[in-house]
Each structure stands twice: as structure tokens, then as C-alpha cells.
Amino acid sequence: MDHASRPMLLAPDQSGIALAAQILRDGGLVASPSETVYGLMARADQQEAVAAIYTAKGRPSFNPLIVHVADTAMAQRLAVFDERARRLADAFWPGPLTLVLPLQMGAAVAPSVIAGLPTLAVRCPAHPVLRALIAETRLPLAGPSANRSGGVSPTRTEHVVASLGDRVDAVIDGGTCAQGLESTIVALRPSGSWQVLRPGPITEAQIAAVLYAQSDAVCSSAIEAPGQLSSHYAPGKPVRLEATQRQDDEFHIGFGTVAGHANLSPDGDLAEAAANLYALLHQAADADHPRIAVAPVPDAGIGVAINDRLRRAAA
């Protein structure tokens, strides 16, 4: 193995996953594709391994991490599930929904994963490569997006390499992420209330339909998921939203009939737009134009999550 060339690029096959699992068991960092974005994975039970995530990303230590598990049984060893949590897991796992739940007593989770909170964010992912990696490692994996803190999230291997370089030991090259937006995060409070902390591929309406209790939802203005900070996903240039026309110095990201230099979805398909969003923000960041303009995107379905990310990119 050539230790001089980092990060190691691994194929998403059995031998690549076996090697990645070994690196993780040894406390290293592996970037893995998921159905949402690429994740920067480390074993969640080891403090030094988790600390390496924060160092590699330049992530503030008060920003806790999502732990990825193989199934609900593994999740229940880490977090306390009530009836609502079980229903949501049954409905949406494996998939892009993160549950914020009370930490299980004695859970084998390094303290910096939860950044001092009494709760744990846990998700059972659907991507076959990440599922195989968790199964092979036989450990819960802490994994934020595989990019430097505050930047645009990666949906392709080259985005990971460009952002993290040799700060990550290995990258499993799994092609382009299907959903392209981070998971929906929902907090279930012991009081019985619940709250979407970050909009994502699973909509609030879908969650409410499973919980049958949208009237219980409380709205809190406190920033409980630092992904909610107003500036995030920043492409490093000014971003103008709702732009149906472009100015000369702008790289124009189009949607539907607003063509742009590159188009999120010429057919106006919001799922396709979500999958393409970060790749086009990376492309716009790399273009010669000093500024970025983005066409209007309807605020419905997964469009809510797209507009959430766009507002933060523009902040």
C-alpha cells in the first residue's frame, strides 16, 4: 500500500470496503458515499477517532455529530426509543431521516460526538456501500459531511478530495449521491413535542403523517442544530437568489425554464434539482465569474430543503 499518496481512493467493492473498515477500526477517517452526501466517518466509540473528524473539518467542537447505524437494534443501544421514534424508524429507515433522541445510559459513544448534549442524533442510512461499511466495521460510525466546516457539501469523490485532501485517510469512490441533500433532522422531546431541526429529503408533512400529531409541534428559535447557523454551505462568493436574469459577472444556476449556465433540472423536477444542487454550487465556485446567481426554486416538497441550503449559501 502506498502511504505517500493520500487520500487512498478505494473501489466500492468488497475489498475496498474491507480495507476501509480496517482503517476505521484502527481509528482512522474514511469518506463514504451515502444517499445524501459524502460522509467523513470515524468509529463513534473512540474519542481520538472522533476528535480527528473535528480536526480534519475545522469543525467547532460545539457542533455534535450524527451517528450512523446498521439497524434499529444498534440505534437502541445508543439512544432511547419511544413509540414515536419506533414509528418513524419503521417508516423511514433505512433512509435520509436523522432522529435526535435521549442518549441511552452507558451508550458507547465518545463524549465529543454529542458535544455535551443529553441527546444523540442517529440515522440508519440506505446507501449499500455505507451499509456494508457499517456491517463490516460492526461499529456505529460518526459522520458529518466530508468537507471543511462551513463549505459546500460533497456529492462526488472529487469534491471530497478537493476539500479535505490528505486530511482523510481514504475515500470510497461511490459515484454521485442520489439525494444530494443532507438528511432531515427531527428531534423528539421527552415532553411529547417534536421539531424539524433541519429540513431535508423527508418532508415535515411526511413526518407529521406518521406521527399523526402535527398540532404537537413546537417552534423554537434556539439554534439547536448548528447546521441551522445562517451562513453554511458557503461557495466562497456572493450568491444572489430568485434570479430570473443573470448579470455579466454572474455564474447563473438555472431551474426549469430559466436556463442559466447550468441547470438544476431543465424539467423543473425538484428531486433532480436536490441531487444536482451541491455539484452546481461547486461548479459555480470554480467558474471564473466573481458572483453566483440562482433561479427561483419552488418552496414545496424537497424544495423547502433546497431553499434552506440556498439561503445559507447566500448568507
Binding site for ligand AMP (CB under 6 A): 63-66, 100, 114, 117, 119-121, 144-145, 182, 185, 197-198, 224-227
- Count of residues touching Mg ion (by CB under 5 A): 1
145 scored as a contact of Mg ion (CB under 5 A): yes
163 scored as a contact of Mg ion (CB under 5 A): no
Count of beta carbons in the 10 Å neighbourhood of residue 59: 20
Q: In the complex, what is the shortest distance from the CB of residue 145 to Mg ion, in angstroms, rounded to a whole number?
A: 3
- Between 148 and 261, CB nearer to Mg ion: 148
- Between 258 and 275, CB nearer to ligand AMP: 275
- Between 159 and 198, CB nearer to ligand AMP: 198
- Between 18 and 51, CB nearer to Mg ion: 51
Q: In the complex, what is the shortest distance from the CB of residue 264 to Mg ion, in angstroms, rounded to a whole number?
A: 20
What nine digits make up the cell of 156? 462526488
Stretches 43-51, 140-148, 208-216, 242-250: which one binds Mg ion (CB under 5 A)? 140-148
Q: How many degrees, rounded to 5, is the angle at CA 99 between CA 69 and CA 133?
A: 15
- Between 17 and 114, CB nearer to ligand AMP: 114
Stretches 64-72, 145-153, 205-213, 276-284: which one binds Mg ion (CB under 5 A)? 145-153
Question: Burial level of 177, CB count in 10 A (0-12/13-18/19+)?
Answer: buried
- Out of ligand AMP, Mg ion, none, what residue 186 binds, judged by CB under 5 to 8 A for its kind, is none
119 scored as a contact of Mg ion (CB under 5 A): no
CA distances from 36 to 6, 94, 219, 314 (A): 24, 12, 25, 21
- Out of Mg ion, ligand AMP, none, what residue 101 binds, judged by CB under 5 to 8 A for its kind, is none
Helices (H) and strands (E) in the chain, counts: 10, 14
Say if strands 170-172 and 30-32 run parallel, antiparallel, or are unpaired. Answer: parallel
- Quote the strand ranges of the chain, DSSP E: 8-10, 30-32, 39-43, 66-68, 97-102, 119-123, 141-142, 170-172, 184-188, 194-198, 239-240, 250-254, 262-263, 291-294
Q: In the complex, what is the shortest distance from the CB of residue 295 to ligand AMP, in angstroms, rounded to a whole number?
A: 25
Q: Judge contact between 72 and 87, C-beta under 8 A.
A: no
Residues in touch with Mg ion (CB under 5 A): 145
